[in-house]
Amino acid sequence: MMAREQDISETYNPWPKIGWATTAGIVVVSAVLGFGLLDRYQQAGPTLSVWSAICRGLGISSDTESTAEPQPTLRTPTRIAWTNATLDQIKAGDAKHGAFVTLVCTACHGEHGISQSALYPTLAGMDAATVYKQLDDFRSGKRSWGAMNAIAQALSLHDSADAAVYFAAQPDGLPALTGDRAPESGRSLRQSDPAKRLIFAGAPERGIPPCSACHGPGGYKLGAPALQGQQANYIEEQLLAFAQGMRQNDVFEQMRIIARQLTSDEMHAVAAFYAAPVGAPRVVGIPSR
């Protein structure tokens, strides 16, 4: 019988046997090695029992070693955590009621939240979540400044949310942070202007990320205020407060670590760069509203 006429199903086919035997071998050998043998032997610890080794291999063992080290005291910089409940409360703020609530704010923060004084920050256009958090930090005493603690204590959570949403909606203040920007030359470590270099490229050797990554333009981080168009003196004061440890409401000391490493010249230059006069042409971003 010619090989060509032989039905293909009659051709001797050892492959199912070979395939399944190899598969079984692989499964057994790798399971035994990976779960029962190799992970039993620890370089810096006693040999584990088989059951412990299997649990560790699966990834469900708990670390039972306790540290004899003294634990540092827990310091909470803020009461706010960005839970869904908190974010929902902020979003539910009523701007109309906020306009009423914030009438008293204009004394320092200016008409419609656009500050005319070097001492007080512009709040117009500031992200609602940022305003809400700072108000709560003043309320709880995690952040202290003059009359702000008493003012914040007089506001309920609802009022805070209303005020926050009102300020966020005010025009001609800080730009909305969208996280994107049109690319432009001179925004890398090649930049010779120290302020621009810090803002757009940071200082990797000091572990300082670019300011714009959180504060914009071209970056966004929940809770980080937009800085462009802000009062220069206010920015500089806050950087100094972080550096000296006078202000402590930044989570994980992020701002304190950064500010401690900035020279006073750098603080001044960065603040001056960010503070363009309100209404003046700003760095081009991609609008989202």
What residues numbered 212-241 form the site for other proteins, per CB under 8 A? 212-214, 218-220, 222
- Under 8 Å between Cβ of 210 and 202: yes
* Segment contacting other proteins by CB under 8 A, of 99-107, 153-161, 255-263, 266-274: 255-263
Residue 25 interacts with other proteins (CB under 8 A): yes or no: no
Q: Does residue 176 belong to the site contacting other proteins (CB under 8 A)?
A: yes
Contact 118, 76 (CB under 8 A): no
From residue 261, alpha-carbon distances to 102, 215, 240, 265 in Å are: 36, 18, 11, 12
Which residue do the tokens 């504060």 mark? 215
- Examine residue 190 and tell whether it contacts other proteins (CB under 8 A): yes
Report the alpha-carbon distance of residue 144 to residue 139 in Å, rounded. Answer: 9
Rounded CA-CA distance 134/98 in Å is: 16
Cβ–Cβ contacts within 10 Å for residue 75, how many? 8
Among 46, 47, 58, 74, binds other proteins (CB under 8 A): 58
> Looking up tokens 């584990």, which residue turns up?
48
Report yes or no: 82 and 129 within 8 Å, Cβ to Cβ: yes
Half-sphere exposure in the Cβ direction for 175 (13 Å, CA): 30
Minimum gap (Å) between residue 288 Cβ and other proteins? 5
Give residues 154-173 in contact with other proteins (rule: CB under 8 A).
Answer: 168
Give the nearer residue to other proteins in terms of CB position, either 59 or 277.
59
Per CB under 8 A, which of residues 74..103 are in contact with other proteins? 82, 84, 87
The smaller minimum CB distance to other proteins, of residues 38 and 150, is found at 38
Q: Which of residues 110-149 bind other proteins (CB under 8 A)?
A: 129
Quote the least distance from Cβ 107 to other proteins, whole Å. 28
Report the residue number, 119 or 222, with the smaller CB distance to other proteins: 222
Query: Based on CB atoms, which residue is closest to other proteins, 85 or 103?
Result: 85
Of 9-17, 113-121, 130-138, 269-277, the segment contacting other proteins by CB under 8 A is 9-17
User: Which residues, 6+ apart, have CB-to-CB distance to 222 below 8 Å?
Assistant: 82, 127, 129
Under rule CB under 8 A, residue 68 binds other proteins: no
**Beta carbon of residue 204, minimum distance to other proteins (angstroms, whole number):** 5
Size of the residue set binding other proteins (CB under 8 A): 84
Q: What is the DSSP letter of 172?
A: S
Please tell me whether residue 23 binds other proteins under the rule CB under 8 A: yes
CA neighbours closer than 13 Å in the CB half-sphere of residue 177: 26
The residue from 8, 68, 74, 103 that contacts other proteins (CB under 8 A) is 8
Compute the least distance from the CB of residue 12 to other proteins, in Å. Answer: 7
Closest CA to 135 of 200, 225, 198, 197: 225
**What is the SS3 string spanning 108-125?**
HHCHHHCCCCCCCCCCCC
- From 4-12, 152-160, 227-235, 275-283, span contacting other proteins (CB under 8 A): 4-12
